[in-house]
Amino acid sequence: MNTKLDGPVEPDPYMNRRAEERVAARFEVRFEQMEDAARALRAYSLNVSAGGLCLRTRKSYDVGAQVRLAMVIDGEEFHLTGVVAWVRDEAEAIGVRFIDVSEEDHERLRRVIASFKR
């Protein structure tokens, strides 16, 4: 058994770093910044968790960009702030991690997401 390390261990790029379970769900998402709302035609989710979502949009975003999102998920309205965590230009998709979510909104998100699994 070789115990020698040749350098820093790289994290597994395929490791799931999500703390919340993600479920497939499609719903319309509106950008609350006026400049984004005008350019993001028919943005919609591909999947969602209580910690974030994968969003399909034709507008380009940079990783780290902050976005304000408005959405109705299973009858519950949410207004959330997020940070773009990743970008897949070829799929016109971005991953958004929610930030500064109130405990009440976090619990509502968990409840709504659990209803998708039934």
- Would residue 71 count as lying in a domain? yes
> What pLDDT is attached to residue 13?
39
What does the pLDDT read at residue 31?
Answer: 84
pLDDT per residue as tens, the chain (118 positions): 444 444 444 443 333 455 677 888 889 898 887 665 555 556 889 999 999 999 998 888 899 999 999 999 889 999 999 999 999 988 889 999 999 999 999 999 999 988 887 6
**DSSP β-bridge partners for residue 72:** 77
Residue 14 backbone dihedrals phi, psi, to 5 degrees: -100, 0
Q: What global pTM score does this model have?
A: 0.76
pLDDT (0 to 100) of residue 58:
82
CATH of residue 108's domain is 2.40.10.220
Contact 107, 114 (CB under 8 A): no
Q: Is residue 9 part of a domain?
A: no
- Which sign, positive or negative, has the C-alpha torsion 35, 43, 88, 94? positive
Residue 35: the pLDDT is: 64
Q: Does residue 111 form part of some domain?
A: yes
Residue ranges in 20-90 assigned as alpha helix (H): 34-39
Say if 33 falls within a structural domain. Answer: yes
Q: Which residue has the tokens 């799929």?
A: 91
Domain count, the chain: 1
Judge residue 103's burial from the number of C-beta atoms within 10 Å of its C-beta, 0-12 exposed, 13-18 middle, 19 or more buried: exposed
Residue 82 domain-assigned (yes or no): yes
> Is the residue at 7 inside a domain?
no
Q: Which domain holds residue 78?
A: 23-116
Is 67 a member of any domain? Answer: yes
Does residue 61 sit within a domain? Answer: yes
Supply the pLDDT for residue 17: 52
